[in-house]
């Protein structure tokens, strides 16, 4: 019979960049006892987001960051909202252009990711901080 389980996962970040969370998710799914289903992640912030990216070549993450830094420059004069500094509004834009929510299928008790996929929390503020995800597993 279909069931649903939810929890909160905290991730500490140390500055702008992608932090892999695949293993933390795998551990929680493994402990849930669910064999199949859908794992839905939701990040409770607007200056950090969720991204599935290549997990093999580390320069992919660097390139994505360089691309976003050029696309949404810190301190851009079109931005009026700069309460928390030059990286404040660019963090909100990076968040809007990527994902606040993601769902990953679960099969055989594991995330059914492609071979080269990793799940990442994208920290978009310079200083980082403590980020919270709500994770919901629907399955059996």
> Nearest distance from residue 14's CB to a second copy, in Å?
20
Would you say 31 or 112 has its CB closer to a second copy? 112
Pair of tokens at residue 69: 């830094």
Please provide the distance, in angstroms rounded to a whole number, between the alpha carbons at the two ends of the chain.
Answer: 6
User: Does 26 participate in binding a second copy (rule CB under 8 A)?
Assistant: no
Distance CA 59, CA 133 (A): 26
User: Does 35 participate in binding a second copy (rule CB under 8 A)?
Assistant: no
Q: Are 130 and 45 in contact (CB under 8 A)?
A: no
**Residue 16 to residues 26, 58, 82, Cα–Cα distance (Å):** 24, 15, 17
Say how many residues touch a second copy, by CB under 8 A: 62
Tell which one of 11, 21, 25, 104 touches a second copy (CB under 8 A): 104
> Nearest distance from residue 30's CB to a second copy, in Å?
19
The region of 9-17, 23-31, 64-72 touching a second copy under the rule CB under 8 A is: 64-72
């Amino acid at each position: 019979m279909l069931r649903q389980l939810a929890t909160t996962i905290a991730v500490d970040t140390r500055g702008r960049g992608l932090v892999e969370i695949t293993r933390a998710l795998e551990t929680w799914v493994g402990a849930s006892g669910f064999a199949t289903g859908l794992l839905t992640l939701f990040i409770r912030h607007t200056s950090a987001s969720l991204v599935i990216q290549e997990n093999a070549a580390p320069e992919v993450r660097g390139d994505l960051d360089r691309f976003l830094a050029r696309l949404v420059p810190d301190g851009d004069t079109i931005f009026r909202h700069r309460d928390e500094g030059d990286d404040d509004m660019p963090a909100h834009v990076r968040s809007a252009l990527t994902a606040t929510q993601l769902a990953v299928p679960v099969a055989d008790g594991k995330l059914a990711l492609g071979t080269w996929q990793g799940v990442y929390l994208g920290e978009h503020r310079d200083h980082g901080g403590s980020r919270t995800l709500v994770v919901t597993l629907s399955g059996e």
